Chains A and B, each alone.
Chain A
């Protein structure tokens, strides 16, 4: 049995695909000065193994949740206030992702300096792919997150 201290205020992300916690943390922008607990390859009754992230005083906006869904589609997000779960959220694969990922096609207009194009990717499932709405290039889901 693994014992980790509860957090008072912040966010707990559970059911992260095993081995993906550090990538999720990178999306959130951590690690930073807040207390962060990372549990990797924890036993899970549902998924065999899973990762968990607990972050004190960190809250996650929808844009980041959309990105997390690309690598951890089963993740659940608990918002903790005064030691109690104030809100439960499930990440959901969005239909499109705008403004946060960079297209890997160097010729794409979105990569031309100073052009006012906000990147937009259409999300396709099974397998997960992202299609640039500008250059139409198709990318594997996680390849854009690693860029």
Chain B
């Protein structure tokens, strides 16, 4: 049984094949067509932690594949509120469905779920550890918008210490050639050493002139034990139309969203701002992921 737990479980061949499948799905989505791949099948959407984009794009993906969805969007309405374990909840609900997409605040919860579930588990984020499907859609976005996944200069900006999307992206690009990273963050939110792989540079200045891909992240309020520290850093990086003038003409700006103040909305109309397109790409990417684990192979 295939699960999607960590981006590290995927080789370049796996990722390339998945992204090719996502591209096929994209053409169907663009034409407004529904596929029958999951007809008669049910996805359990178990969101033990709040989510908007991930949950709804999983649901949208399942509907596009003619499947249906059961589940919950926050644990208060489930037996978790009666102190049931995540393992028991997953074990039970896996009796009712054909695939499970789940999110939990506890790192390692998706791996535990994969050990007890009778159906494939897709990790939709487990605490600060992993968010592999976000990484897959980020890579799909880069592939579609830049036309390649090799030979890229990627600037990662903001909270590089806690941002799980950043960590997973660094790991995924280990599989690709001629990748150069620039890590842009205040020293308090610097990238952990384990993600400094290959060619990289660290700076606290918003230097984007040479980047092909600018990946912005939100400074996450909930990560700061000291709120005065958060207040000091929350607006440290902000992309405005002025900043965009310094960027390459064919660069792209990505953001896993939600954004707070790190990208001025005046930038949205610039064709290089692809973050809403990136959110859209979540649907075909997750369609490909669901097909891969529960739709009879990739």
Contacts and interface: CB of A to CB of B under 8 A. Distances in A.
Interface of A: 105, 107-110, 112, 114-117, 132-138
B59 interface: no
Contacts of B109: 109
Interface of B is mostly: mixed
Interface in B121-154: 126-130
B108 interface: yes
Interface of B: 6, 85-87, 104-109, 111-112, 115-116, 126-130, 194
B105 A115 contact: no
Contact of A134 (B87, B105, B111): B111
A109 B107 CA distance: 6
B24 to A, nearest CB: 32
A138 B129 CA distance: 12
Closest 6 CB pairs of A and B: A134-B108, A135-B107, A109-B108, A109-B106, A135-B108, A109-B109
A110 B108 contact: yes
Given A115-B87, A135-B129, A136-B129, A108 B116 contact: no
Nearest to A132: B108
A108 B111 contact: no
B60 to A, nearest CB: 28
Contacts of A117: 87, 108, 112, 115
Contacts, number: 53
A104 to B, nearest CB: 12
A133 B116 contact: no
Nearest to A114: B85
Which one of B105, B107, B128, B130 has the highest number of Cβ atoms from chain A below 10 Å of its Cβ? B107
A60 B80 CA distance: 41
A135 B127 contact: yes
B107 A115 contact: no
A74 to B, nearest CB: 28
Contacts of A112: 85-86, 106
A115 B112 contact: yes
Contacts of A110: 108
A107 B105 contact: yes
A135 to B, nearest CB: 4
Given A112-B86, A116-B85, A134-B111, A107 B106 contact: yes
B84 to A, nearest CB: 9
B106 to A, nearest CB: 4
Contacts of A134: 107-108, 111-112
A114 B105 CA distance: 16
Contacts of B115: 117
B108 A116 contact: no
Contacts of B129: 135-136
B106 A108 contact: yes
A21 B126 CA distance: 40
